[in-house]
Amino acid sequence: VFRFVSDEHFGAIEPLLQEEHYDFGDVIVKQDDPADSFYVLTSGRARALKIKSDGEEIPLGVLKPGDSFGEAALAEGGTRSATVRCSTAVDVLRIDRTDFLELVRRVPELKQFVETTGRNRALQSFLYQFSNFGRLPAPVLRNMIDKLKPAGFAKGSLIIREGDDAGPLYVIEKGRARAFTGVNGRDQNLAFYREGDFFGELSILNGSPRAASVEAFTDCQVQALDPKSVRDLRRRFPEFDKLLRERLALYQAKTEARIPLDFTTELLPAETKVQDKVELDGKQPGAEVEEKEDPFADEQGLFRKRGKRIRKIDHVMQIDEMDCGAASLAMVCRHFGRKVSLARIRQLCHTATDGTSLKALSRAATELGLAARALKISLRNLPMMPLPAIVHWEGNHWIVLYDVDEQFVRVADPGLGLRKLPRREFEVKWTGYAALFDYTTAFEQAPESQPTLAWVLPFLARFKVILLQVLGLAVSVAFLQLLFPVFTQMVVDKVIVENDIGLLKTVLLGMLAVLVFVQLATLAQEYLIAFATVRLDTAVLDFLSRKLLSLPMSYFTSR
């Protein structure tokens, strides 16, 4: 940041810099606190976090030496938009707000830097929370943000015109838009876009003219990424290329999109009255009939919503945060009657360190024998979805939706268990992407998991003699311990009643002998158990290590 400051000005600023130290885990600034200082990291690392109302933390990025934060809020006033927490011990330089504003006034170039940095930080936070681009690693996201250019479109204007040459990829920052194409003299809706959605990548990927028009439904503020930048990012970052290619699998060029509820009002002509809605619907009988019947059914009659509600579903816990897709598919398989192992599903899904894609989930289900479809579904069609379905949750998580009613939905979260959520909350956090499934006879051949400990038996067989000796000693000790009540009875009935001192000596000697033998047998038993345990542990560890090291490299690179 100080590269904009001349030596003369820096000499005046240097006394204003206050050195501060923070330990691991300390919070440097807290979200919603007053913005009163500007910070520059000089050593260590810290994480910027966005904390949601339910306490969930959304990571925004890692700060390293030379990075700064706090300038945007300082220039505008107000409160902190994010929390910064130390990942290691951290040293910072801090400037108070009043001194910082004086610095901005004296160095106009710094003001421009502040505005640019604030815009980039706001874009990064927006993409993390609302867009699929939030899945990208931080370096990829930063490079993308640097290339984005803002643009605005008035309501009713065309953002993209069908037939034009390939142009920018657009990300909607504010507003809504719809994609459509002309068919037989009328507009056929292809997709509807809200904040965080992106479009325009198809023509860039295919090198073809625009396949559809995109109209601004409301006043729209978008971020544009020109074709050259898209190609450059795809070439440099495989993660960016993978995200765009996954998007290609979701296009269904011959399918007309249903009109979401929040777009219905804008679709009505300005002169249309309330009583004309029936007439308007009458002009589009196909969409209405599909909604009343089975909008997701295919030619084979699959993907029809069943009348019987699902009251319970077998829950499968995810192993880590990247395992949610595989665990969700395992729950779907169990619902259809086959307990397919999570390891097998993970292998079919090609689960990696960045999780599982929608296309991979559908492909894995198909290989197991289920019918599967990957779709983006409007909210108005939520009650008609065939269940259970795997849905994309909050832009970075897969969960199983298994019941929907007017007020609530029930989901199986691989990370949190079975949950009952208000339907309004679900509609806000659901991205619209879903994988639908149906049973086929091929699924009867799907291999089921059969966990067993049979592999341990050969190891136990090596120590069969020792284990039998331990068992014999245990029986002997148990038998001898039964003699103590007999000795006690003899003392009470014979020694005390008849005053037989000789018998007392005999009983005491017998008790002592039994006690010594019990102790020796117990020591021998513990020695044999320890002897067998050490060698059994070594043999099992050696066996598991050999199995682990013989796994293919793909097993390790995906974790």
Instruction: Express as a percent the part of the chain with pLDDT over 70.
Output: 79
User: At residue 377, does pLDDT exceed 80?
Assistant: yes
Give the bridge partners for 178, in sequence order: 192, 215
Task: Give the mean model confidence (pLDDT) for residues 227-255.
Answer: 75
One-character DSSP codes across 46-70: EEEEEE-TTS-EEEEEEE-TT-EES
Most confident option among 12-16, 73-77, 154-158: 154-158
User: At residue 360, does pLDDT exceed 50?
Assistant: yes
* Res 254: pLDDT: 41
* Res 148: pLDDT: 84
Q: Amino acid identity of 89?
A: A
Which segment of 111-115, 227-231, 330-334, 344-348 scores lowest on mean pLDDT?
111-115
Which segment of 3-17, 60-74, 146-160, 216-230 scores lowest on mean pLDDT?
3-17
Task: Give the mean model confidence (pLDDT) for residues 212-235.
Answer: 89
User: At residue 196, does pLDDT exceed 60?
Assistant: yes
Largest CA distance in the chain: 121
> Rounded mean pLDDT of the chain?
78
The Cα–Cα gap between 368 and 13 comes to 66
User: At residue 291, does pLDDT exceed 70?
Assistant: no
* Res 275: pLDDT: 29
At residue 181, φ and ψ (nearest 5 deg) are -140, 155
* Res 210: pLDDT: 85
Three-class HEC string of 136-174: CCHHHHHHHHHHCEEEEECCCCEEECCCCCCCCEEEEEE
Q: Is 358 strand, coil or helix?
A: helix
Task: Give the global pTM.
Answer: 0.42
What is the helix (H) or strand (E) element at residue 195, kind and residue range?
none
Which residues lie below 8 Å from residue 76, measured CB to CB, with a gap of 6+? 118
* Res 390: pLDDT: 92
User: pLDDT class for 389, splitting at 50, 70, 90?
Assistant: very high
User: pLDDT class for 90, splitting at 50, 70, 90?
Assistant: very high
CB atoms within 10 A of CB 88: 12
* Res 442: pLDDT: 86
Task: Give the mean model confidence (pLDDT) for residues 433-437.
Answer: 89
User: pLDDT class for 6, splitting at 50, 70, 90?
Assistant: low
**DSSP state at residue 217:** S
* Res 502: pLDDT: 81
Distances 427 to 86, 125, 348, 423 between C-alpha atoms, Å: 35, 21, 30, 6
Q: Is 413 strand, coil or helix?
A: strand
User: pLDDT class for 353, splitting at 50, 70, 90?
Assistant: low
User: At residue 279, does pLDDT exceed 50?
Assistant: no
Give which of 31, 75, 72 is closest to 50, Cα–Cα. 31
Question: What does the pLDDT look like over 396-423, one tens digit per residue?
Answer: 788 999 999 888 999 999 988 899 999 9
> Tell me, which fold does domain 307-445 have in CATH?
Cathepsin B; Chain A (3.90.70)
Return the exposure string of 277-305: e unless at least 16 CB atoms fall within 10 Å of the residue's CB, then b: eeeeeeeeeebeebeeeebbbeeeebbeb
Instruction: Express as a percent the part of the chain with pLDDT over 90.
Output: 9
Give which of 179, 169, 122, 126 is closest to 148, Cα–Cα. 169
The Cα–Cα gap between 47 and 119 comes to 19
* Res 76: pLDDT: 66
* Res 301: pLDDT: 75
* Res 285: pLDDT: 32
> Tell me, which fold does domain 145-267 have in CATH?
Jelly Rolls (2.60.120)
Distances 12 to 41, 103, 546 between C-alpha atoms, Å: 20, 9, 65
* Res 188: pLDDT: 80
One-character DSSP codes across 91-148: EEEEEEHHHHHHHHHH-HHHHHHHHHHHHHHHHHHHHHHHSGGGGS-HHHHHHHHHH-
Task: Determine how β-strand 169-174 pairs with β-strand 177-183.
Answer: unpaired
Of 292 and 459, more confident: 459
User: At residue 56, does pLDDT exceed 80?
Assistant: no
Task: Give the mean model confidence (pLDDT) for residues 349-369.
Answer: 77
What is the helix (H) or strand (E) element at residue 178, kind and residue range?
strand 177-183
CATH class in words for 2-129: mainly beta
User: At residue 498, does pLDDT exceed 60?
Assistant: yes
Of 249 and 421, more confident: 421
